[in-house]
Amino acid sequence: MFGPTLSSTSPSPLAGPGAASASSSSSFFWFRLVFNEDPTEAPWPWLRTEATGRAASISPAAAEIHGRMTMAEAEAGRAAIRRALRSLKRRHLAEEGAHSPAIEALTRPFAAHALEWKEKAEKHEVELQHCYKAQSRLSEQLVTEIEEGKASKALLKEKEAMVTSLQAELEKSSEENVQLKQSLDEKTKALDLLIQEHQTVKAEHEQALTKLKAAEDENQSLIDRWMLEKMKDAEKLNEANAMYEEMVLKLKTAGVGGIQLNAQQEADGIIRRSEAGYMETSIPSTCTVTIRAHDGGCGSLMFEHNSDKLISGGQDQTLKIWSASTGALTSTLHGCLGSVNDLAVTNDNKFVVAACSSNKLFVWEVNGGRPRHTLTGHTKNVSSVDASWVKSFVVASSSNDRTIKTWDLQTGFCKSTIMSASNPNSLAFIDGDIICSGHRDGNLRLWDVRSGKCTTQIAAHLDVTSVCVSRSKNFILTSGRDNVHNLFDVRTLEICGTFRAMGNKVVGSWSKPCISPDENCIAAGSSDGSVYIWSRLKNGTPTILEGHSSPVLASAWCGLGPLATSDRNHIYLWS
């Protein structure tokens, strides 16, 4: 639209090609003015560029002319060029002033639109930033999802491999299942045959048990009858002994020798003591054997029935079997948990039972020393144990848990439990079903094992420490913390003898005195290391045996003669 105006402008003062160059420069001037470029500086670089281009286009001819020019001519040319440039500059300034309103009118819409375009550009730039951020988040999510996809793909491959492995195992298990099913069918058939055979054997076993039960009942009946006859014979023996002693006294009084002979013959006519398994007892006076037995104390002694084998139990948790004649150790029984408080031997000498501080009783076979049972059931220290004289496999025990229990040595199980109002310190069988026990409250109690009830209660001491039943079961010897030893008649339950001495003091709660096999002497240890022996018939001053260096804890009298006593570490045999 500005073409005619520009073309009507008067040419430059330069002749020839210079005018065309000025016209072209003017066109460029207006173009740059429209686009807000500086009009004062714009023409000159362009003119120089255009002149340079023209010079380059005529450079061969100009070079020839220049070679012929002189220095003056060159200076004149340069002056002319400078004048032309000044003229051109003045022309441009004039044109700029003439066309400035039009230029402002043309540039005003562009300026108004420039602000709007700038706001839009800023808005679009903010939106672009949001887009970049959203794209960044999407890129991160895409990367995460790609990684998860890779992990899922790997997991899928792993699961496929696992499925393949499980399918192989399933096929193998199915084959094994088929084989096991076949084997099960075979085993089931074999089991059916075994069940039939078992039923047959069971029926035969039941028949054998019935026969065995009948034989045991018959055997027990015979044993009871035999024991009854034995007790009757023992009573006859006691009567004969009493008659003999009475006649001896008469002999001493009357001085007649014939009376002694008649008494001897009468006693021989009933039963002699040697036939009952023991010899007449004389009061011992000399220590024949000293044995180093147990470390820490030997609290229990027991002779086998009708034997010179002595069994001892001590704080070292062992039982030892000795020869009373030589003092030699024949065997040692191990397995106790805790110190041994009391011992018992069954009437057939097959088993020995130890009552221990570990709340248990331990059973061994005497021949061989093999452990047989561990009897558990008491909750506190087991203080005493005794074996039945009638039933070979029955023993009774007492404990600080205030119970008395009976045990079956064939099975090792508890048969019955009796509850007591006071701690039983000691017990002993009187016959197959009656147990005598001495208690901390000072009472002597008799219990019926079948009913579990106390049939008799007798005040005996301040605190009963020991109960011992004589060989014939006619006497009960009790000891107490009052340092008194009482002898009770089983038939009347009355005290038939009381034995005490000035220096005799009972040792502890489980001091164990004893009665001689012929029931004429009573031996008891003392805390001063002495052994006191009283005669039941004379009931006078006791015989005192000295030799122990520590308190005497237990004593036992062998049916064949010697008396055994024990202290902290040693056993003494007296004869």
The rounded percent of the chain whose pLDDT value lies above 90 is 36
pLDDT category of residue 72 using cuts at 50, 70 and 90: confident
DSSP 74-139: HHHHHHHHHHHHHHHHHHHHHHHHHHHHHHHHHHHHHHHHHHHHHHHHHHHHHHHHHHHHHHHHHH
Question: Mutual orientation of helices 43-57 and 17-34 as an angle, nearest 10°?
Answer: 140
Superfamily of domain 273-574: YVTN repeat-like/Quinoprotein amine dehydrogenase (2.130.10.10)
Q: What is the pLDDT of residues 123-180, one digit of tens each?
A: 888 998 999 999 899 999 999 999 999 999 999 999 999 999 999 999 999 999 999 9
DSSP 187-199: HHHHHHHHHHHHH
What is the C-alpha to C-alpha distance for residues 281 and 274, in angstroms, rounded to an integer? 11
Neighbours of 564 (CB within 10 A): 26
Q: If you average pLDDT over residues 500-529, what whole number do you get?
A: 87
Nearest to 469 by CA among 504, 434, 428: 428
pLDDT attached to residue 356: 93
Angle value at C-alpha 548, between 461 and 320, nearest 5 degrees: 90
Nearest to 471 by CA among 300, 243, 277: 277
pLDDT attached to residue 26: 45
SS (H, E, C) 426-490: EEEECCCCEEEEEECCCEEEEEECCCCEEEEEEECCCCEEEEEECCCCCEEEEEECCCCEEEEEC
pLDDT attached to residue 13: 38
Q: CA of 347: how far to CAs of 227, 301, 417, in Å?
A: 12, 16, 22
User: What are the strands, taking DSSP E only, across 369-412?
Assistant: 371-376, 382-387, 394-399, 403-408
Question: How many residues are recorded in the chain?
Answer: 575
pLDDT attached to residue 166: 92
Angle value at C-alpha 524, between 398 and 406, nearest 5 degrees: 15
The two structure tokens encoding residue 45: 């670089």
Report the first-to-last Cα separation within the chain, whole angstroms: 164
pLDDT attached to residue 69: 58
Residue 234 has pLDDT above 70, yes or no: no
Q: If you average pLDDT over residues 193-221, what whole number do you get?
A: 86
- The residue with tokens 């003017």 is 26
pLDDT attached to residue 279: 55
Mean per-residue pLDDT over the chain, rounded: 80
The two structure tokens encoding residue 38: 């500086």
pLDDT attached to residue 385: 95
Q: What is the pLDDT of residues 331-359, one digit of tens each?
A: 999 988 889 999 999 988 999 999 999 99
Q: What is the pLDDT of residues 99-130, one digit of tens each?
A: 777 777 777 777 777 788 888 888 888 998 99
Nearest to 426 by CA among 453, 463, 454, 457: 463
pLDDT attached to residue 419: 93
pLDDT attached to residue 354: 95
Query: 9 or 293: whose pLDDT is higher?
Result: 293
Q: What is the pLDDT of residues 281-338, one digit of tens each?
A: 678 888 888 998 888 888 899 999 888 899 999 888 999 999 988 889 999 999 888 8
Tell me the whole-structure pTM to 2 decimals: 0.54
pLDDT category of residue 398 using cuts at 50, 70 and 90: very high
Nearest to 529 by CA among 504, 549, 553: 549
pLDDT category of residue 502 using cuts at 50, 70 and 90: confident
Q: What is the pLDDT of residues 373-385, one digit of tens each?
A: 999 999 999 999 9
Domain residue extents for the chain: 3-136, 273-574
pLDDT attached to residue 383: 92
pLDDT attached to residue 235: 67
Residue 19 has pLDDT above 70, yes or no: no
The two structure tokens encoding residue 69: 């020019």
DSSP 3-state of 404: strand
Residues 6+ apart with CB under 8 A from 552: 507, 525, 526, 527, 529, 530, 531, 565, 566, 567
- The residue with tokens 């001493």 is 252
Nearest to 373 by CA among 408, 424, 422, 423: 408
pLDDT attached to residue 272: 42
The two structure tokens encoding residue 539: 């009931």
Q: What is the pLDDT of residues 413-431, one digit of tens each?
A: 999 999 998 999 999 999 8
pLDDT attached to residue 70: 66
Q: If you average pLDDT over residues 47-53, what whole number do you get?
A: 45
pLDDT attached to residue 22: 41
